[in-house]
Amino acid sequence: MKIKLLRKKSNELRIEIAGEGHTFCNMLQKALLEDETVEMAGYTVPHPLMTKAIVYVHTKGRRGPETAIREAAKKLRTRSTELKSALEKAFQEYDKMAGDC
């Protein structure tokens, strides 16, 4: 994943993420909007055939957008780990149940 900083102000951040589209950016946007210090978060994919997205974050000023996006990334990592664990458990339970048949 390659990230390019497009704009940085005290309460605004705009980055370009190469190789990503709606799937990842939608999850990132949702995680950002769960943060009470984030006033606005969104993204755009300039063209459907391009594999890059522009993500923007605007905070209320109590802390910077860099902190907000770092925290959102941590949330996504935790959720991915939880999903992986839940899937492994479900697969084990299924295999056990299928073995009983």
Answer whether residue 60 shows pLDDT above 70: yes
Looking at the chain, the whole-number percentage of residues with pLDDT higher than 90 is: 82
Q: Where are the domains of the chain?
A: 2-100
- Domain 2-100 sits in CATH at 3.30.1360.10
* b/e per residue 20-36 (b: at least 16 CB within 10 A): beeebbeebbebbbebe
Specify the pLDDT at position 99: 78
Q: Which residues contact 28 (CB under 8 A, 6 or more apart)?
A: 41, 43, 55, 69, 72, 73, 76
Answer whether residue 1 shows pLDDT above 90: no
- This prediction's pTM: 0.85
State the average pLDDT over residues 42-61. Answer: 92
Q: Are 58 and 38 in contact (CB under 8 A)?
A: yes
Q: How confident is the model at residue 51 (pLDDT cuts 50, 70, 90)?
A: confident
